[in-house]
Structure formats: C-alpha cells, structure tokens
Amino acid sequence: MSPVRPVLAVAAVIGMSVLTMGQARDRAKIEDQYTWSLAEIYPSVEAWRAQKTTIAAEVPTIRRFAGRLGDSAQTLAEALETGSRLDKELSRLYVYASMLADQDTRQSEPQGMQQEMQQLYAEFSAQASFIEPEILRVGSAAIEQFLAADPRLGIYAFYLRDIARRAAHTLSDAEEKILADAQPLAGSASNIYGILANADFPYPTIALSDGRPVKVDQAGYAELRTRPKREDRQRAMSAFFTALGAFSRTFGTTMNSSVQRALFYSKSRKYGSTLEATLDGPNIPVSVYTRLIDGVNRSLPSFHRYLRLRKRMMGVTDDLHYYDLYAPLVASVDLQYTPEEAQRHVLAAMAPLGPDYLSVLRRAFGERWLDWFPSEGKRSGAYSNGGAYDVHPYMLLNYQGQYTDVSTLAHELGHTMHSHYSNTTQPYALANYPTFVAEVASTFNEALLIDYMLTQVKDDATRLALLGNYLEGIKATVFRQTQFAEFELRVHEMGLKGEPITGDALAKLYLDMTKRYYGHDQRVVIVDDDIAHEWSYIPHFYRDFYVFQYATSFTAAEALATKVTEGDAAAKQRYLTFLSAGGSKYPIDLLKEAGVDMTTDEPLDLTIRKMNRVMDEMEAILSRQ
C-alpha cells in the first residue's frame, strides 16, 4: 500500500534509464503541453490543504473498529472499507505533494507538504495496526463464514486469506510487540552503511591521463568507468576499489549485522532460512530463486560469447579486463528525437497491443500526464507514479532526445499503462501490483520498442548500436543481478551455518564468483584482484533478496513480448488481462495466467535464445565491415 510504487529504484540500480540533469532550463519558459497538469489531482495547494485537514481528522476514526472485527461480517466490511478509503485518499494527497516537490526541489513549501504526509501516513499505519493481528484471532473459519454472508467482503477475500496463510509465522501479541519494538534497531546496519558510503567515506582523487585531478566518489566512478580512454577507466576502477578495500573490515561488519538481523527475524518467525522468510511475503517458491541462479550459470557460455564480441568490437588486442566492461561498445551514433518523433515511434512500436492500448497512450501524450524536460531544481531520473487512483498515472522524465530517452519514455509508459489498466479495472484494495511483477510491463515496452526500431533502421552502424544497447541491458539486468543474487544467497548461507562473515571472507567469495561469471580462467575477461571489493559498494545487499527480481522481470517480459509479437491474439489478450489484474492474485499466478511460468526454465531460455540471435546478427554485420 505504499503510495509511490517502487519503480525508481530499478532505474537507479540498472543504470540504464537514469538521465542526468543537463541543459537545465527555466520551468516557466517550458510550454504547457510538455509539463504535467497536477490540477486534476487538486486545483490548488489550498484545495490540497483543505482535503488534508479533512482526512487527518478522519484517520483516528479507524480505531472505532478495534476489538470489534469479529462481531459480524458487516462490521468487518465497514472496517476494511474505511481503511481502504482512507488509504486511497492519503495516497492521493501524498502523490500531489511529492510530485509538486519533484518539480522544483529548491522550494520549501512542497517539501514541507511531503513531510506532513509522511507523518500522517505513519499515524494512519499506527492507528490501523490492530487490523491484521485481530483478523488472525478471529480465525479462518469465522472469516469464511463472513465472506459468505456479506458480498461487500468479496474484494477483500484475497487479503483476508493471505493473512490466514501466514498464520503459522505470526506470533503471540507479546512476541509481536517485541519484534515491533526491535524495528528501529533493525535498520542500523543499512543506516550505518548508507552514512559511511554516501557521506563520510574518504573517496580518493586521481589524476587522469591529461593530468586533470578528479574525485572518484560513487557518481565519479560511474562516469569514469565509461571513459573511452582505457588508462582513465583502469585508474578510476583500481583507485575506487582499493579505497573501498581499506575499509573492508567495517563493510564486513555492517554486512554481518544485516545478515544477523535477517536471521533473527526468520528464526523468530519459524522459517527455515532467510530466503524462505523473505519470499513467503509475496508467496514466491524458493525454487524460482535457485532455478534462476542455476539457469544463469548454465548460460554463462552465452555471456562469454557476448564478452568476446565486446572485445572484438572495442578492438582490444590483448586481454579484455573488468575495467573495459562499461566503455562504449560502438562509437556513438548521434540520433536525436524530438518529443513528437518519440511519441510517434512509441505508438508505432506498441501497435501489437491493439487500439485500446494506443488510445490510452494518446491520452497520456495529449492530456499532460508527462513532465518532459529537465529544469532548474527538478528531480533527476525518471518515474511513473500511479498513486492517484481516481485520477490517472503521472510520469516524470528528463528528456534530452537521445535513443535512451525514447527507451525510457517507453519504459515509464509501461508502468503507466499497468497502473492505468489496474486502477480502472480493480477496486483500490486490489489495484496495487506486487513488486515481483513491477518491472515486467516496463521492460516489455522496451523490448517492443527495440523490435520496432530494428524494422526502421537499415544502416549497419545504427543497427549495431541498437543491438549493442539490447545486449548491455541483458548483461546489466540478467547476468549481473543474478550474480548479486547468488552472492547474497551464499552470504546468508554462511550466516545460517554460523560461519564468520568478515570483510576478508566476503572479498574472497566475491572475487571467486566474479572470476567464474566472467570466465577469468579461460581469459575471457581478466578480473583483477581489487574487484574483490566491489560487493561493498552495492547498497541493495541490505535489502534482503531483492535484486533477483530485476532478472526475473526481464526474462518474464522477454517471454511475454516474444509471444505477443509473434502475432498470437490469445497471448495479447492474456497480457492485457495481466495489466488489468493489479495485485488481485499472487505474482507467480499473475504471470502464469499472462502466459509465462516463472517456476520453469522457459523465460530464461527464451531470453538466452534471443540474446544469441542478436549476437548472430551483430557478428554478421561485423564480418561485412
């Protein structure tokens, strides 16, 4: 029920869709048609303020149902309807405040409005916290009787039965209270890591090949490793990881604390492992996780083929090194697209999804759902926000006209269409789609866009650039994220077995694993020793078993896009049904009904097959040159 769906984090970790603030301009000079219209949510800040005052007064009224949920089906229905309505209104208030703040982060009034909403949300959560434990105490048998007695409860059946499903892992009131009281401690490892990595860490300064000094902090490193000049990216990577390695004992200690936290909660809740505990929330079988790791390991020969192709395209005559992996694959092809051209390409690319889908896209373009351009103080990056349930989704872009910007537009529109169809089909209580499927609709649209662009582009250089861009996506999303997922699993296994989790142990584990993934022993890529410390700069390791979803979303989207673009009308209909289903089922079931079974190898196999077809074509183009 979080007001902002977690789509932004993905762009940040994959590093593909994140645009930087260039060419900032004065917002007042941007034509209205390129800015979003927040007036559909509230006509003015005053109107927002009035509604916030009304809702804030209503929040405590949820308490009138405390201790009464088992009284009757009617009382339970009224309680859930009240909670759902308040949540929906809070979400609308929050979305307005946060998007107003993102327009110009220098303005203090919208920042204050956002903070007010965070506080009001926290208060609502506290006031409503009695609901789930009380439903558990009412018990499954009584809940089933209530469901049969009052049809208003129908839309809450999934939610009510899901609470019952987790009953074996819910503790007594006193024990739950202790776990809740421990929550502020539970964030310590991640908080300390974040402060060290983002604020206090003494990042080094190096001299580039032209003698210019440059600081290798996180942003600097991300830019420097893409430098065309080999010497520069080598120096930057070596300096960055050597510096991190000097704090290996500290990073090892924070990582150990994080694993111990996860172990504490999984044991308290009577789970066999931390992986089992994490995946039980969205009801995902553990085998989905382990099967991905096994499948990607089996597919390493295809990954090595990509790495050899990269070496050939970069013209590296000696060994390819790890510090070469982010350098441009092809000399940049300077394609520029106006917003109107981008819209035209996206509409043409999405044609396989049918006229209704296209008509909603036209509404998004014509009715100011998007905020297109960078401007002074505007938040960087890109996102789609579907939290204003009764209005329509909104998108923030920082559009600069490159192909990656067109791709980002298609990506965010994927989220928007998912929200639009779910919000207009499902009741609020079932509209919010689960994280496991959140990146499917967006990645699906990127796949359709690249397929379409390849039908339009005939010249070899541009085709190579587009195909190369696709391979970079697979490398970053499927292979790299699965390697992270495997590393995380092994670290948690060490914790479960009581083995010491230290900086040294983690560095050895990470280096060995990276050498295996990148074919170090076969000299596919030379993984230099300082790469051992790369793990310590990945913040996602403090979010248990999160990153594998980037890889599974990608393979699910590839499989679904393949089926739809092959012209299967039933496949298209199943996909549109998935977009309309929100969170009305468990994620594995949603995807199964869409046409892809994540408990099998099919989605990964289809992705790897497509990857090899792309490499066939690239090699054919290269041999013509």
Q: Is 301 helix (H, G, I), strand (E, B) or coil?
A: helix
Site string for Zn ion, 56-95 (x = CB under 5 A): ----------------------------------------
Site string for Zn ion, 196-215 (x = CB under 5 A): --------------------
Q: Which residues pair with 375 in a beta bridge?
A: 25
In whole angstroms, how close is the CB of 438 to Zn ion at the nearest point? 7
In whole angstroms, how close is the CB of 193 to Zn ion at the nearest point? 24
Judged by beta carbon, residue 543 or residue 613, the one nearer Zn ion is 543
**Amino acid in position 149:** A
Q: Which residues pair with 526 in a beta bridge?
A: 321
The reply on whether position 432 binds Zn ion by CB under 5 A is no
Q: Count other C-beta atoms under 10 Å from residue 555's C-beta.
A: 28
Which one of the spans 273-281, 316-324, 440-448, 548-556 is the region binding Zn ion (CB under 5 A)? Answer: 440-448
In whole angstroms, how close is the CB of 589 to Zn ion at the nearest point? 22
Judged by beta carbon, residue 79 or residue 450, the one nearer Zn ion is 450
In whole angstroms, how close is the CB of 43 to Zn ion at the nearest point? 30
Number of residues counted as binding Zn ion (CB under 5 A): 3
Which positions ≥6 away from 184 have C-beta within 8 Å?
A: none
φ/ψ of 335, rounded to 5, equals -100, 135
Site string for Zn ion, 517-546 (x = CB under 5 A): ------------------------------
Judged by beta carbon, residue 10 or residue 155, the one nearer Zn ion is 10
Q: Which of residues 19-48 bind Zn ion (CB under 5 A)?
A: none
**DSSP per residue, 69-106:** TTT-HHHHHHHHHHHHHHHHHHHHHHHHHHHHHHH-TT
Site string for Zn ion, 383-422 (x = CB under 5 A): ----------------------------------------
In whole angstroms, how close is the CB of 439 to Zn ion at the nearest point? 5
φ/ψ of 395, rounded to 5, equals -130, 135
Residue-level length of the chain: 625
Judged by beta carbon, residue 7 or residue 135, the one nearer Zn ion is 7
Which one of the spans 189-197, 334-342, 437-445, 508-516 is the region binding Zn ion (CB under 5 A)? Answer: 437-445
Which positions ≥6 away from 408 have C-beta within 8 Å?
A: 11, 17, 19, 382, 397, 399
Q: How far apart are CA 39 and CA 100, in angstroms?
A: 11
In whole angstroms, how close is the CB of 546 to Zn ion at the nearest point? 14
Q: How far apart are CA 292 and CA 555, in angstroms?
A: 10
Site string for Zn ion, 227-266 (x = CB under 5 A): ----------------------------------------
The reply on whether position 10 binds Zn ion by CB under 5 A is yes
In whole angstroms, how close is the CB of 46 to Zn ion at the nearest point? 34
The reply on whether position 7 binds Zn ion by CB under 5 A is yes
Which one of the spans 5-13, 112-120, 477-485, 490-498 is the region binding Zn ion (CB under 5 A)? Answer: 5-13
Which one of the spans 192-200, 330-338, 374-382, 439-447 is the region binding Zn ion (CB under 5 A)? Answer: 439-447
Q: How far apart are CA 225 and CA 326, in angstroms?
A: 6
DSSP-H helix ranges across 128-187? 131-138, 140-149, 157-165, 173-186
Judged by beta carbon, residue 303 or residue 444, the one nearer Zn ion is 444
In whole angstroms, how close is the CB of 14 to Zn ion at the nearest point? 9
Q: Tokens 């506290």 label which residue?
A: 126
Judged by beta carbon, residue 395 or residue 614, the one nearer Zn ion is 395
DSSP-H helix ranges across 477-518? 480-496, 503-517
Judged by beta carbon, residue 10 or residue 79, the one nearer Zn ion is 10
Helix (H) or strand (E) holding 15: none
Judged by beta carbon, residue 350 or residue 618, the one nearer Zn ion is 350
Look up residue 440 and give its two tokens: 């499917």
Which one of the spans 9-17, 293-301, 320-328, 396-404 is the region binding Zn ion (CB under 5 A)? Answer: 9-17
DSSP-H helix ranges across 426-475? 428-431, 435-438, 440-456, 460-474
Which one of the spans 60-68, 210-218, 286-294, 438-446 is the region binding Zn ion (CB under 5 A)? Answer: 438-446
Residue 412 annotated in active site: yes
In whole angstroms, how close is the CB of 552 to Zn ion at the nearest point? 14
* Catalytic residue of the set 412, 439, 486, 558: 412
99-102 contact pairs (CB < 8 A, 24+): 99/36, 99/38, 99/385, 99/394, 99/396, 100/38, 100/45, 101/379, 102/378, 102/379, 102/396
Going by C-alpha positions, the residue among 566, 565, 551, 562 that lies closest to residue 598 is: 551
Which positions ≥6 away from 217 have C-beta within 8 Å?
A: 201, 203
Q: How far apart are CA 481 and CA 498, in angstroms?
A: 26
Going by C-alpha positions, the residue among 424, 406, 409 that lies closest to residue 356 is: 424
Q: Is 175 helix (H, G, I), strand (E, B) or coil?
A: helix
Judged by beta carbon, residue 98 or residue 442, the one nearer Zn ion is 442
Which one of the spans 1-9, 205-213, 221-229, 418-426 is the region binding Zn ion (CB under 5 A)? Answer: 1-9
The reply on whether position 440 binds Zn ion by CB under 5 A is no
In whole angstroms, how close is the CB of 555 to Zn ion at the nearest point? 15
Judged by beta carbon, residue 251 or residue 550, the one nearer Zn ion is 550
Judged by beta carbon, residue 7 or residue 237, the one nearer Zn ion is 7
In whole angstroms, how close is the CB of 444 to Zn ion at the nearest point? 11
Judged by beta carbon, residue 418 or residue 533, the one nearer Zn ion is 418
Which one of the spans 91-99, 284-292, 442-450, 532-540 is the region binding Zn ion (CB under 5 A)? Answer: 442-450
- Helix 503-517 with 248-268: angle, nearest 10 deg: 90
**DSSP per residue, 366-428:** HTT-EE-S-BTT---S-EEE---TTS--EEE----SSHHHHHHHHHHHHHHHHHHHHHHHS-H
Q: How far apart are CA 483 and CA 322, in angstroms?
A: 15
Helix (H) or strand (E) holding 259: helix 248-268
From 274, 442, 482, 552, residue interacting with Zn ion (rule: CB under 5 A):
442
In whole angstroms, how close is the CB of 411 to Zn ion at the nearest point? 6
**DSSP per residue, 513-559:** HHHHHTTTTTTSSB--GGGGGGGGG-GGGGSTT-THHHHHHHHHHHH
State the residues that interact with Zn ion by CB under 5 A.
7, 10, 442
- Annotated catalytic residues are 412
